[in-house]
Amino acid sequence: MFKNTKFNGERLKNSRLYRGLTLTELAAKTKISKQSLSLYENGTNSPDLDKVMTLSQQLNFPYTFFFRENAFTIKTEATYFRSLLSTTKKDRTAQSVKLEFIAQMYEVLCSYVDFPVLNLPKVIFDGGNDDYAYESANEVVELETIAMQTRTHWGLGMAPIKDLKYLLESNGIFITCFFHTRKKLMPLVKEQ
């Protein structure tokens, strides 16, 4: 199995970030030194099979995940969080990695599924994702204006939206869900 394959350190790093763990936290869980984990992630060293199995169990990813190359790389740009005050940098990083995984899945699925085309009005948003606890009055007005432009673009009027999820998806916006729990990790990919 491992004769012609190489350990993919980037996948180790992404799976660690996906689970919202620091190198120190993963080292404590696996009893593998922080320095060794860093070397594995950077591709300087490769772990032996026992350590790969330990990492696989602690991160709840199949061990084969760590020996595959990515067919392509996707990097997310700006990611906006509704409440930066209650969202830690570690959680924001984990969400960004999750978005990259979703984008990779989307790219693969595009070969097999004709998804709805993204249908959004062209808008300008001057607000930002700065580290502050509340939106400014100008930003709130700006967001409300964008919401009205979108309602007009989709021909919704002012009535309540009965099925927001369907409306978004039919206009090319993907809805995803991640369960956040530190007690039991949800697997991303199951062994076949």
Q: Is 109 helix (H, G, I), strand (E, B) or coil?
A: helix
Give, in degrees to the nearest 5, the angle at Cα 8 between 75 and 56. Answer: 105
Share of the chain above pLDDT 70, in %: 76
Give me the pLDDT at residue 109, please: 87
The secondary structure of 27-57 as a DSSP string is HHHHT--HHHHHHHHTTSS---HHHHHHHHH
Token reading at 171: 């206009």
Contacts of 67 (CB under 8 A, 6+ apart): 1, 2, 5, 6, 7, 8
Residue 70 near residue 38 (C-beta atoms within 8 A)? no
What average pLDDT score do residues 91-97 get?
A: 80
Query: Whole-structure pTM over 0.85, yes or no?
Result: no
Q: Is 169 helix (H, G, I), strand (E, B) or coil?
A: helix
67-79 pLDDT, tens digit per residue, is 988 766 666 555 5
Q: Is 12 helix (H, G, I), strand (E, B) or coil?
A: helix
Catalogue all structural domains in the chain, each as residue range(s) with its CATH number: 9-67 (1.10.260.40)
Query: How many beta carbons lie within 10 A of that of residue 171, not counting itself?
Result: 15
Token reading at 109: 């699925």
pLDDT at 131 over 70: no
DSSP tag of 65 = G
Rg (CA), the chain: 20
Own/partner contacts of 155-160, CB < 8 Å, gap of 24 or more, are none
Give me the pLDDT at residue 179, please: 64
